[in-house]
Structure 1
Amino acid sequence: MPRHAPGHRPPDGGNAIHPRPARTTAATVAEAGAWAEVLGGYRHLHAALPVPNGQWLVQHRPQAPVLDLDGPAAMVELAAEIQHRTRTTRTRTR
């Protein structure tokens, strides 16, 4: 499938956002922590904290319920979902 310039629709009118390839390695705690820091810095998350049992506690807004994510892979998947949602919303509004 040919790639097109960011923000431009392909000639067939389809979605310019392509599905991401499958991971070949497991997400690490360091990777999940880096994504949590980035998402917090851009205010996509209010808080994201690892807990000793390997899970992550995540809160989208200050008064929102706290979500319990099952490990680093779930944190990285949440980051991918937020990034995908942000990109598809941005593409539709142009």
Structure 2
Amino acid sequence: MLQALQKTHRHVCDTTVGALKRQYMSLSIDAGGDMLEHIRPTRLMLVELECYKVSLSDAEKKNNFLQSLGPDWNGYIGALEACGSMEELLIKAAAGARRRSTQAQR
């Protein structure tokens, strides 16, 4: 009986993790989208994946984030690629979004 429960729950967990990872990999920001609103679900999904013990390297996280950016951010990707960690990249992207917002209000 214990083995049957373990098998069932492992299957549910594997399915959940797979769906979450697909959802994370499909995140994107549309043209004119709000970068801060893009960063928030990215962070949440990464934390959730960590809870399921899914380890993604910083390189994988950074690559996925950069690929999720729309054409509005093409000129900024080089600066983001130079970041050493995913955390640094997200901080820099948020700062860039705030800077753009401030410039647009002028």
Q: Shorter-chain TM-score: what band?
A: 0.3 to 0.5
The TM-score with structure 1 as length reference comes to 0.37
The TM-score with structure 2 as length reference comes to 0.33
Which has the larger share of strand?
1
Between the two structures, name the one with larger relative contact order (CA 8 Å, sep ≥ 6): 2
Which has the larger share of helix?
2
